[in-house]
């Protein structure tokens, strides 16, 4: 089935830009939005990111403030992670996860590289589970398998974030 092969190919090949290849010049909001539309695999017409979303992520502390209305590699890195994670996590949970990452005292490029590695591993694993030769009668089973795996991963993620959040709250109270 061509559509399944296309999905498999995209999941095997398309990845966000590595840190060292992110633009080293500051981008204005419209350039940022345009750049971000190419960072993650998307299906459908709606925008992955809008200026209002960027501003809300900044207000929520997920992304650093712009430097004179200009956005650099750190903004692109954070936004790539936020846009991907927003598909499955709440803003609060993303904040807890990012806070835990910052607590490890890793640089932004190191955190971004870890995110890209985790995303690569997940996309590759999922792509391997796609059978492009599947008959139409097998599609529901394949979709169910992915849905159940998502459910199990979501359960584990939520529980781990629940464990992390009290630690994050204690750190904030000390500050």
Predicted local distance difference test score (pLDDT) of residue 135: 92
Report CA-CA distances (Å) from 17 to 23, 33, 75, 114, 140: 9, 15, 13, 13, 33
CB-based burial, 38-74: b 16+ in 10 Å, e otherwise: ebbeeeeeeebbeeebbeebbeeebbeebeeeebbbb
Report CA-CA distances (Å) from 60 to 82, 93, 158: 11, 11, 20
Strand partners of residue 71: 27
Other CB atoms within 10 A of residue 22 CB: 20
152 Cβ neighbours under 8 A, 6+ residues apart: none
67 Cβ neighbours under 8 A, 6+ residues apart: 26
Predicted local distance difference test score (pLDDT) of residue 155: 96
Residue ranges of the chain whose pLDDT lies below 70 = 166-175
Predicted local distance difference test score (pLDDT) of residue 174: 60
What does the pLDDT look like over 114-147, one tens digit per residue?
A: 999 999 999 999 999 999 999 999 999 999 999 9
pTM listed for this prediction? 0.89
Cα–Cα distance for residue pair 149/67, rounded to 1 Å: 40
Six-digit token string for 34: 């345009």
Instruction: Work out whether the CA dihedral 32, 38, 42, 44 comes out positive or negative.
Output: positive
Domain boundaries, the chain: 2-174
Half-sphere exposure of 85 (CA within 13 A, CB side): 24
């Amino acid at each position: 089935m061509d559509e399944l092969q296309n999905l498999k190919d995209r999941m095997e090949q398309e990845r966000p830009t590595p840190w060292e290849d992110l633009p080293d010049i500051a981008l204005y909001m419209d350039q940022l939005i345009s750049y971000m539309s190419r960072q993650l695999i998307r299906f459908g017409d709606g925008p992955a990111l809008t200026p209002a979303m960027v501003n809300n992520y900044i207000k929520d502390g997920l992304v650093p403030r712009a430097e004179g209305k200009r956005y650099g590699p750190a903004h692109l890195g954070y936004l790539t992670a936020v846009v991907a994670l927003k598909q499955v996590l709440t803003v609060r949970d993303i904040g807890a996860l990012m806070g835990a990452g910052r607590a490890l005292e890793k640089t932004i490029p190191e955190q971004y590289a870890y995110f890209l590695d985790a995303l690569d591993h997940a996309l590759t694993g999922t792509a391997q589970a796609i059978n492009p030769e599947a008959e139409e009668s097998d599609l529901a089973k394949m979709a169910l398998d992915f849905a159940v795996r998502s459910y199990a991963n979501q359960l584990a993620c939520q529980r781990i974030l629940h464990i992390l959040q009290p630690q994050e709250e204690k750190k904030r109270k000390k500050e």
